[in-house]
Homo-oligomer: A and B are copies of this chain.
Amino acid sequence: MVNNKPIVAILGGTGGLGTGLARRWAEAGYQIIIGSRTQDKAELAASELRDLMQERGVGSVQVLAMDNIAAATAAEIVALTVPFAHHTSTLLSVKNALQGKILIDVTVPLIPPKVARVQLPADGSAGQIAQNILGEGVRVVSAFQNVAAVHLQEGQGMDCDVLVCGDNKEARAQVIELVEAAGLRGLHAGSIANAAAVEAMTSLLIFINKQYKCHAGIKVTGMENS
């Protein structure tokens, strides 16, 4: 290890949000493992990220490519950014590899074609499903659902807060550190049950994006009283 930052794996790290997060964290000096269903797919995204880091003068950061299970095994903190349709199967495949670790669940339970309509799962949220599947040995923390992938990828400052939900406060605090490393403000937002609010808000923001032709996010206001 080149520094004392945890190694972060991003499962489903070849999509819009995954590559955006990988880019932000690599720039902040984290060692990154891009995970995908096959190592070949991961390698393509990793190679692009290495080129980008070279361009930006942070070529020394280590970016690896692995299949999802190997990535989950090798990393200390794991982020999950797969489409909802692959959420449960991916979690089941990495359940053993994740024991004792933090899983950052970025999944939003969008059910096409009505992605601008809130359709929460019976368990309440994707985050809650993840905690139920993985059991108490994994600290699931839900985050990043309301950040537009396009903004993360542009690598510019974003006027959007990250609401961080999870049953374990210390795990939430570690994820808030990663949120800040990505250039955003992270806020303690309660237990994993509260992931329902953030995931549902994504559908509402998709509606606003269509209605007002924008890439909307949200910001918590009124905190100056704190």
Contact = CB atoms under 8 A, between A and B. Distances in A.
Interface of A: 116-120, 124, 148, 151, 158-160, 163, 165, 187-191, 193-194, 196-198, 200-201, 203-205, 207-208, 211-226
A217 B212 contact: no
B218 A223 contact: no
B201 A197 contact: yes
B223 A214 contact: yes
B203 A117 contact: no
B217 A189 contact: no
Contacts of A160: 221-222
A159 B222 contact: yes
Contacts of A124: 118, 120
A151 B222 contact: yes
B213 A225 contact: yes
Contact of A117 (B190, B200, B220): B190
Contact of A203 (B188, B194, B201, B222): B194
21 contacts: A117-B190, A117-B194, A118-B124, A118-B194, A163-B204, A165-B204, A187-B208, A190-B203, A194-B203, A194-B207, A197-B197, A197-B200, A198-B204, A200-B201, A212-B223, A213-B226, A215-B222, A216-B221, A218-B218, A218-B219, A218-B221
Nearest to A147: B222
Nearest to A218: B218
Given A120-B196, A197-B118, A216-B223, A188 B211 contact: yes
Nearest to A116: B190
